[in-house]
Amino acid sequence: MLSIDQSGYIEGVLTKFGMDEAWAAPTPATEMIITLGPREGDTASAEEVRHYASLVGSLLWVAQGSRPDIAFAVGRCARFVANPSGEHLAAAKRVLRYLKGTAGVSLMVRTPTSKQILAGWADSNWAGPCDCRRLTSGYVFTIGRLVCSWSSRLQPTVGSSLVEAEYVALAAVARELLWTSMFLQELEQPAPRTAEIHISAKTSIIHSHDGELAYDRNVPVLYSDSSGARAITNDPQHFKRTKHIDIAHFFLRDEITSRRLTVAPVQSSKNLANVLTKPLTAPRLLHVRELFGLTTPKVHTGSRGGAGDNDPAERDLMNDRGESI
């Protein structure tokens, strides 16, 4: 079994930004990161922009290399690189504090099994208050027990309903899954027997790769928790009521009709992509990290706790707001 980690790089980043002696945080972000908006009143100086961009760029490298657990928080911070504020810097430093306590976390590369199934896990977060009602979507792809790809991004389209937002997320993940499948074929690798996408579900359906589900084993399965989104993909009659959805997203329904893809639900508690669309509490984050195959060394947080213990500027900012990041 192999493992991938960036502990040396993380320690270098902590030293570079003067955070090597900072207290560790149990999570990369709190709910407050959702409320972050553009800087108001003035414009950041060139030095502030340079410093913030360098910090966020370093965090992006870690998030893309081996740490999907920070991808959502870093993605939020990256939206404000052009004109960062003190709040944005505090949020980015919160991610550093989390990495301070989890620098040794490794992404495990598990031994392949005879049933290497290409699976996709997706989630979406609709109507963020500072995103102009645009959708944040995330996905994770695995081959067998190997996590091979992940993404957390702000979609360019605006969702006018929850059903539409979830449908757009399904379509985006389906495109990536099909591309991944074709890429494996280009590498002349044996095609996984089944490709699946898991979306958070409110219904309790336990997935098994041993044939309990009555789906064609040669057709990829796309899992969704939205009965409305599933209806759009499977029932052409719904088109009259959903013409406002960009026609480009309707390729998903064509994939369903052509039996190249199937839509089905999965349990929300087993969804790897939850961490890519929203901040999680420490217990939930630890659970998702274990599902990812990320090792989980003990996080050493300071007895005083809080995000601003060793950073006067950050502490003053939180005192002014009466909050903690």
Which domain CATH number covers 201? 3.30.420.10
Residue 59 CB partners (closer than 8 Å, separation 6+): 13, 70, 74, 77, 92, 95, 96, 99
Q: Is residue 289 part of a domain?
A: no
C-alpha 102: how far from chain center: 18
Neighbours of 218 (CB within 10 A): 11
Encoded tokens for 90: 């505090």
Q: Is residue 10 part of a domain?
A: yes
As a whole number, mean pLDDT of residues 295-323 equals 43
Is the model's pLDDT at 128 over the cut of 60? no
Quick check: pTM over 0.85?
no
Give the residue numbers spanning the domain of 172.
111-275
Identify the pLDDT of residue 17. Answer: 97
Distance in angstroms (rounded) separating the CA atoms of residues 186 and 17: 42
- Do residues 269 and 217 share a domain? yes
CB contact at 8 A, 169 and 135: yes
Q: Is residue 267 part of a domain?
A: yes
Per-residue confidence band for 56, with pLDDT thresholds at 50, 70 and 90: very high
Per-residue confidence band for 97, with pLDDT thresholds at 50, 70 and 90: very high
Q: Is residue 22 part of a domain?
A: yes
As a whole number, mean pLDDT of residues 237-242 equals 52
Identify the pLDDT of residue 322. Answer: 40
- Do residues 9 and 54 share a domain? yes
Beta bridge partners of 153: 137
Q: Which residue has the higher pLDDT, 320 or 129?
A: 129
Encoded tokens for 66: 């081996």
As a whole number, mean pLDDT of residues 251-272 equals 74
Q: Is residue 18 part of a domain?
A: yes
DSSP string covering 17-70: TT-TTSPP-SSS--GGGGG-----SS---HHHHHHHHHHHHHHHHHHHHT-GGG
**Total domains present in the chain:** 2
Residue identified by tokens 């041993």 is 210
Is the model's pLDDT at 312 over the cut of 60? no
Per-residue confidence band for 49, with pLDDT thresholds at 50, 70 and 90: very high
- Do residues 60 and 186 share a domain? no
Encoded tokens for 77: 């911070």
Is the model's pLDDT at 291 over the cut of 80? yes
User: Which range is most confident: 3-7, 51-55, 181-185?
Assistant: 51-55
The proportion of the chain whose per-residue pLDDT surpasses 70, expressed as a percent, equals 63
CB contact at 8 A, 33 and 91: yes
Beta bridge partners of 196: 119, 221
Q: Is residue 281 part of a domain?
A: no
- Do residues 93 and 124 share a domain? no
- Do residues 124 and 204 share a domain? yes
- Do residues 82 and 167 share a domain? no
Q: How far is CA 127 from CA 34, 136, 137, 150, in A?
A: 11, 9, 11, 22
Identify the pLDDT of residue 116. Answer: 67
Per-residue confidence band for 271, with pLDDT thresholds at 50, 70 and 90: confident
Q: DSSP 3-state assignment of 296?
A: coil
Maximum distance among all alpha carbons in the chain? Answer: 61
Identify the pLDDT of residue 234. Answer: 60
Handedness of CA 73, 76, 80, 81 (dihedral sign): positive
The proportion of the chain whose per-residue pLDDT surpasses 90, expressed as a percent, equals 34
Per-residue confidence band for 320, with pLDDT thresholds at 50, 70 and 90: very low
Average pLDDT, the chain: 75
- Do residues 11 and 56 share a domain? yes
Q: Is residue 288 part of a domain?
A: no
- Do residues 70 and 154 share a domain? no
As a whole number, mean pLDDT of residues 185-214 equals 46
